[in-house]
Structure formats: C-alpha cells, structure tokens
Chain A
Amino acid sequence: MKTLLKSDNWYLKCGAFIMAVILLTVLTGLFWTPYDPNYMDTSARLSSPSFAHLFGTDNFGRDIFSRVMQGLGTSFMVSFCINLIGLIIGTIVGAAAGYSGGLFDDVLMRICDAITAFPSVMLALVIIAVIGRGDMDIIWILGTLFIPSYARMVRSEFVQQKSCNYVRMARLMGAKPLRIIFVHILPNIYKTLLPAATIGFNNAVLAEASMSFLGIGVSANRPSLGRMLNESQGFLIGGAPWYAAFVGFSIVLLVMGLALLGEGLQAEQNRGKK
C-alpha cells in the first residue's frame, strides 16, 4: 500500500483508486441500496435527479442510483466469471500445448487463432441467438470465447520457460510434468498473467455491456448496465436524458478504471524486468 502511494506510476494509482471506489459501491450494493432497486414508485416516474433520487428515477419509478449500484455488481460478477473461465481453462490448455509441443500444440494453436480472428461480441451474438438465452448463458459463452487469448499467452510463456535452467533441473531431478507445470512454471508467469487478466476483465465488461445493450445479455430480473442504457435510449427525447447519461458514465468509469489498472500493472511489470 505504501509503495503504491509513493509510486510515480499514475496509471496504477488512478486505476486502483477508481476500482476501489467501484468495488466499494458494488459491495455496498450487495447489502444496502438507498431504495429497493426493483421498487416501483408510481408517483415518481422519470423524476429528475434530486437529493431523494441522486440519479433520478426510470420509467417504472425505480431509483436509478440503486439500480446502477446493483448493475455495476452484475457487470462485475459476470465479467469476473467470464474471465475466471477463460483464465483457468486457457491456462490449462496453454500449459498443455506449450509444455508438450509438437502436433498437439500446432492443432490447439490453430484453433485458437481461428477463434481469436473473430471479434468476440460478434461470435457470442451468433452463438447466443442460435442457442437461445438463459439468464446466465452469456457467462459461459463469452468465457469460452476468452479461452484462446489466454491460452496463447500462457503457451508462449511456457515455451520460453521450458528452456530455462530451473525447469531443466527439475526435470533432471525426476519431477513429473504436472508438478513442473503447476509448481515450477506457473508461479513464474503469474506476473505476466495479472495485467493480461485485468485487460481481459476490461474486454469482458465491454462485451457484456454490448450484449445486454442489444437485449441479449442477462435477464430483466437483474439490473444490468447495458440493458439499462438500451432502455434509457427511449427517453432521450422529452423524457429523461440524464438516465442515459448516468448509466453510460458508470460504464465508462468501470472500463476506465480497469484499463488504467491493467496499464499500470503492465508498466510495473516492465519496470521489474529492467
């Protein structure tokens, strides 16, 4: 913490600050919101921002601030799960490919190349529309689409580390491949993975928001930023332009916080290398 404050890495500082604020909001939103986010106040439809309703109310008379708090939580949770899937499976695939090499490696990487060539939102769109959508289907679909980029990165790290002396030593000492992968190599590459995961998180937030914006993300039972932005569009004229503004800027803030954090971590890591 102290080093963070003293550091001249502004990216890291700002990113950490924004993310801390957002995380605090999300955590608070889990236990307490100014209003029940689903409570509909018939007398206060589309009321403008005030002390009673910081961000105003939507067309159902629901408090937008409370919904944004929970919407941030949804975005956060969904993106986190997407990344977790991508990261875990991606690491396993990448490690296997990188460690074994040969034809197995070739085939896996070719598949990964093919998938990463397509913008993930476009692919997810087609898949979700084809399969139909349950509440949380978006998580595993996007999660699957996030696997290849992690796999590729982990693989290239593995290829590098494989020829390092400490791995050779371990092998000479008779360590089993699984032990080498998990105990020896993985701890050495997490520093590369961390900033990449942050950037992946960022992409996941964007992808989820885009999908929900198109109306095919999480269901209406749960407040979601992308969906709220889509709904707010109808009230740009005559009704409540602030609705779109507040929701939109919350997305921007979340994306920015993550981008800065990722950037900062990357810079920190580069510095470490020097």
Chain B
Amino acid sequence: MKYVLKKAINLILTVVLVSFLAFCAFQIIGDPIARMLGAEATPEKIAQLREELGFNRPVMTRYLEWAGNFLRGDMGISYSYKLPVAEMVLPKLGTTVALTLMAFVLTCVASISIGVFQVRLKSARIDRLMTVANQIIMSIPPFFIGILFTCFFGLVLHWFTPGYFVSFKEDPAGFFGYLFLPAVSIAIPKISQCVKMLRSQTGAELEKDYIRTAYSRGMNTGFAVNYHALHNAIIPVISFLAVSLAEMLASCIIIEQIFTIPGIGRLLLSSISSRDFTVVLAIVVILVIWVIVVNYIADIIYPLVDPRIKVSK
C-alpha cells in the first residue's frame, strides 16, 4: 500500500513539473496571437487581444488558474478552433488509445506465439532462417512499414482506402478494420524484437543448472522448454512489453500522419505548429500521465509474474 501511495505521489509531482515546464516554455516562444489574427492584424488589435486573453499577467498566476481548471475537467478553449479543448481531445484520445492497444495486443499475441514456435522448432535451418528474417524486419522503421502497407494493401491490392477513416460511432467494424494495418505497422518492429528476446532468453535458460537437473530426471526437451525455461524467459519479455506500450504511443504520432488517422498525435503536431497551446498542454499532460501510468503498471505486474522479486521499497 505504501508502495502504491509513493508511486502515486511521484506521478502527481511529475505531471505538475512537466505541465509547468511546458507552460513556461510557451511563454518563452511567444503567444499565438499573430496566428490567431492572421496576416492583416493591426498592432492595436494584437495588444487588445493579448489583454483579453490575459497574456500580460504573471506566469505563476496563470499556471495556477490553468491547473485549477484542469482538475475540474476544464481544459480551456482552443485558440484556433475556439472549441473547448476537452471536447476536441477526448474523442481523439479514444482513437489513439484504441490504436495503441490494438498494436499492443497484436504484439503480445504474435510475439509470444511466434517466439514459442521458434523455440520449440526442431529444425536448426528454419530456426536460422527465422532469425535472419527477424533481424531484417527489426530494422524497418514503423513509418516505412506504414508507407509500404499503404502502397501495397491500399494502392495495389485495394484492400483499404488510405485516408478513408470512419469513426467508431459511425461504424465500429469499419473503425477497427481501418486501424488494423496501422496497428500492424506499429507492432511489427516490436514483435521481432520480442521474438528475438524470447529466443535468446530461452536459450540462456536452457543452459542453466535446473534444466540439466530436469533432464537428468528423465524429462524430455519439449517439457523442459514449455514448463521451465519459458516460464522464466518470459519475465523480462513482459517488462519489455510494458515499456514498449509507452514507445508505441510515440510511433502512433508518426503512423497517424501516414494513415491520416484523426488521433491525438496529429492534433498534437498541428496544434504545435499553430501555437494552440491550450491544446498542446492538455495533450502533453495526458501523454505524461499515460507514460507514467504504464510504467507504474509494469512495476506492479513484475512481482506478480515473478515472486522472486519482492517490492522492498
């Protein structure tokens, strides 16, 4: 319990720190007013709007005000869209979370099945072939996979229409159908990293004493692999998977551009360039919470899978 509490405090402190830093950063680079008023703005209008939006007040007061509102669920009004930020961000967050989770589930299912399949292989030749293929696939960055997919499945095979995204409300099946390929593009490099890890870990475990003991007791290879080596080899893989959940979010930002998915990453990029910093701030804070919570979950899962690790601190 103490552990959970300590982590929670840590989380809050980090969120406060990051949001404050982001808040300050925007003060340094200037305000969005020129963009809001366009090319034809007069200096008087600029001064007037600056006053209206309260850009002349001290940073600290404005930060506290923002934080107070944020806690009440009011993320402010977008400077460019004039819409409430919460209204803009939350639906997009859903899309991005769906994409990330799809990629994550794919990674888990595929990497563990493929990994176990490879470990149990009898043929050394196929094993080597898989290792080589894996090594090559691992080197393809997600955005290039995305481009290859758009080109091959979208433009050659016409299995899907790039850019023809439908929202979950309109057509749930179509929504997941559209997110499938982007999720695969995000998952592929992770899958191959994971398979490789599983393979080398099992290899290492198989050389350990307890397996030899098992052999001497007359156990066959299949059994040794399945019940002993794999069980131990999978622990680092699980922590790897948990960490990659955070990295997948970063891949999302790029993949959303390629497949034109209206997710949080695209909104982040466009808001950054339009200096719409109420939106940027909200997204940054959400991303921070996401990353920290994911790491936190990984920390909790860890001792559950491996009783040897005790939560001491």
Contacts and interface: CB of A to CB of B under 8 A. Distances in A.
Direct A–B contact in the complex, CB atoms closer than 8 angstroms: yes
Interface of A: 114, 117-119, 121-122, 125-126, 129-132, 206, 209-210, 213-214, 229, 233, 236-237, 241, 244, 248, 251-253, 255-256, 259-260
Interface string B143-159: 11001101100010000
Contacts of A114: 14
Contacts of A132: 29
Contacts of B268: 125
B213 interface: no
Contacts, number: 86
Contacts of A121: 250, 253-254
B148 A117 contact: no
Contacts of A214: 253-254, 257, 269
Given A119-B250, A125-B253, A214-B269, A248 B29 contact: no
B69 interface: no
A270 to B, nearest CB: 10
B139 A255 contact: yes
B222 interface: no
Contacts of A253: 139
Nearest to A260: B135
B235 interface: no
Given A214-B269, A256-B136, A259-B138, A122 B143 contact: no
A126 B281 CA distance: 10
A244 B29 contact: no
7 A-B pairs closest in CB distance: A119-B250, A256-B139, A129-B272, A122-B250, A255-B139, A248-B144, A130-B25
Interface string B99-138: 0000000000000000000000000000000000001101
A236 B139 contact: no
A271 to B, nearest CB: 14
A233 B254 CA distance: 13
B136 A119 contact: no
A122 B155 contact: no
B140 A210 contact: no
A118 B139 contact: no
B292 interface: yes
Contacts of A233: 147, 258
Contacts of B250: 119, 121-122
A163 B174 CA distance: 61
B29 A131 contact: yes
A143 B14 CA distance: 22
B26 A118 contact: no
B300 to A, nearest CB: 16
Contact of B147 (A206, A210, A236): A236
B25 to A, nearest CB: 5
B136 A236 contact: no
A213 B139 contact: no
Contact of A117 (B29, B140, B280, B292): B292
A114 B292 CA distance: 9
A122 B26 contact: no
Contact of B272 (A126, A229, A256): A126
A209 B254 contact: no
17 contacts: A117-B246, A117-B295, A119-B247, A119-B291, A122-B253, A125-B269, A126-B284, A129-B269, A130-B25, A131-B29, A210-B141, A229-B144, A236-B147, A236-B150, A252-B140, A255-B141, A256-B138
Contacts of A126: 22, 272, 280, 284
A259 B258 CA distance: 25
A214 B151 CA distance: 19
A130 B147 contact: no
A248 B135 contact: no
A237 B144 CA distance: 16
Contacts of A122: 249-250, 253, 287
Nearest to A253: B139
B139 A252 contact: yes
Nearest to B248: A119
B273 interface: yes
Given A214-B253, A233-B258, 6 more contacts: A119-B246, A121-B253, A126-B22, A236-B147, A236-B155, A259-B138
